[in-house]
Amino acid sequence: MERLSYSLKCVVILDLIKRLRDNGSWCGETHVQKAMFIAQDLANANFGYKYIMYKHGPYSFDLTNELAGMRAAKIIDFEFRRAEYGPSIFMTAFGDRIYSLHEEEIQRFKKINGFVADWLSASDVKHLERLATAYFITSKNPRMPVLERAKKINLLKPHVDIISAEEAVRTVDQKKEEAKRQLTIAA
């Protein structure tokens, strides 16, 4: 598994943000966190983001720091579209120039980012938490029966009932199968 350069990681993040927004996503940090978690796994690439199970599912402090650095460098910024919601992330004009310069280098990630954005863009934060947690549990226990994975989710997240957890696990299984069929995943 190759380790990506800093500039390539930034452009992969920009591509993911672009695709989430193009698909109508709110594109807050939670969306980017969960989408990057799944994209990193599907790409079988070392983006350098270590994920732990946290308050609202898989979370990477490394990615949070990366996003903060990208914002400080004026590659991305936040906009507050509605007072009662957190900020949305968008690519700045400078970010767009960086993206344009390196767009060819990320060709192998575009299809994966598109797949993940299509899947997650319409999800609210609660749905993202269930799906990403189900993905996390499934990645750690791929052969475990659906009900057992759902019970693990419910144990970690008691506010997620067994039926919702089972539904999330089945969705993850279905999407992982779709990804195998649709994506040419680099090893």
User: For residue range 86-115, what is the model confidence (pLDDT) as tens digits?
Assistant: 899 999 999 999 999 998 888 889 999 999
Q: Which residues contact 170 (CB under 8 A, 6 or more apart)?
A: 146
pLDDT at 20 over 50: yes
| Integer-rounded Cα radius of gyration of the chain | 16
Burial class, 135, CB count within 10 angstroms (exposed 0-12 / middle 13-18 / buried 19+): buried
pLDDT number for residue 183: 84
Tell me what the pLDDT averaged over the chain comes to: 92
| DSSP per residue, 22-87 | HTT----HHHHHHHHHHHHHHHT-B-S---EEETTEEE-HHHHHHHHHHHHTTSEEEE-SSTTS-P
Reference 56, options 155, 127, 148, 140; nearest CA is 127
Two tokens at 145? 């029966």
Two tokens at 80? 């507050």
User: Which uninterrupted H or E stretch holds 4?
Assistant: none
pLDDT at 126 over 70: yes
User: For residue range 42-86, what is the model confidence (pLDDT) as tens digits?
Assistant: 988 878 899 999 989 999 999 999 999 999 999 999 998 777 778
Reference 169, options 117, 119, 122, 133; nearest CA is 133
133 touches 153 (CB < 8 A): yes
User: For residue range 169-184, what is the model confidence (pLDDT) as tens digits?
Assistant: 999 999 999 999 988 6
pLDDT at 187 over 60: no
pLDDT number for residue 48: 87
pTM of the model: 0.92
| Percent of the chain residues past pLDDT 70, beyond the cut | 97
pLDDT at 186 over 50: no
Q: How far apart are CA 43 and CA 57, in angstroms?
A: 20
38 touches 31 (CB < 8 A): no
